[in-house]
């Protein structure tokens, strides 16, 4: 039978190993997102499609607010505040779903291009689709983290899944900080 100290030591070792793996995954994902961003500049040049600017700003704001709520959920888990953890994790998930609804449910329907129309459609759907896929994966992961939180599986000493979810969620938010201006703001309008 292991002691509590041995169990915590093993947990910390496993968390450190998992943390390294997560950061290596994120590094590889950075290259994928950067390649897509470079493709945007190579194919669109100093132009951009005429997209719904208000909706672009709204979904960006929603995603940035979700980053704040994810931070609050992680801090609450680290301090053992289960109630605040549940509130902020649930809020993060709802904001992630709202972002997806805005991009996939509204923006894709209003887009002046189909994915196969031209380079504007192809790059627009590639950039937003790749990002939306990552947001969807993040929402699914956060739902699992929330479920485990409801079961009382996290303590201030043992909450690596919450930290992993936060790292991934913040990464996805940072990607959008680069994608949003590249898609919606930079370049001359193409009509």
pLDDT digits (tens, 9 = 90+) for 131-177: 999 999 999 999 999 999 999 999 988 899 999 999 999 999 999 99
Burial 108-128 (b: 16+ CB within 10 A, else e): beebebeeeeebbbbbbbebb
Question: Do the beta carbons of residue 151 and residue 9 sit within 8 Å?
Answer: no
Q: Which CATH number fits domain 4-190: 3.40.50.300, 1.20.120.80, 3.40.190.10, 3.90.1150.10?
A: 1.20.120.80
Tokens of 102: 């805005």
pLDDT for position 15: 77
Q: What CA–CA distance (Å, rounded) separates 71 from 169? A: 9
Cβ count within 10 A of residue 24: 10
Q: What CA–CA distance (Å, rounded) separates 86 from 3? A: 30
pLDDT digits (tens, 9 = 90+) for 56-83: 999 999 999 999 999 999 999 999 999 9
Q: What CA–CA distance (Å, rounded) separates 54 from 73? A: 29
């Amino acid at each position: 039978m292991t002691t509590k100290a041995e169990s915590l030591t093993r947990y910390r070792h496993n968390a450190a190993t998992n943390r390294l793996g997560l950061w290596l995954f994120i590094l590889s994902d950075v290259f994928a997102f950067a390649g897509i961003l470079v493709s945007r500049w190579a194919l669109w040049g100093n132009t951009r499609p005429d997209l719904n600017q208000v909706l672009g700003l709204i979904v960006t704001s929603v995603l940035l607010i979700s980053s704040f709520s994810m931070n609050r959920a992680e801090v609450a888990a680290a301090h053992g505040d289960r109630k605040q953890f549940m509130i902020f994790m649930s809020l993060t998930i709802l904001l992630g779903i709202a972002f997806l609804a805005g991009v996939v449910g509204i923006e894709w329907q209003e887009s002046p291009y189909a994915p196969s129309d031209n380079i504007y459609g192809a790059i627009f759907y590639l950039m937003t689709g790749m990002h939306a896929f990552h947001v969807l994966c993040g929402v699914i992961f956060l739902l699992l983290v929330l479920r485990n939180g409801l079961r009382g599986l996290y303590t201030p000493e043992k909450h690596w899944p919450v930290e992993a979810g936060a790292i991934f969620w913040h990464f996805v938010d940072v990607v959008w900080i680069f994608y949003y201006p590249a898609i919606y703001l930079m370049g001359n309008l193409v009509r």
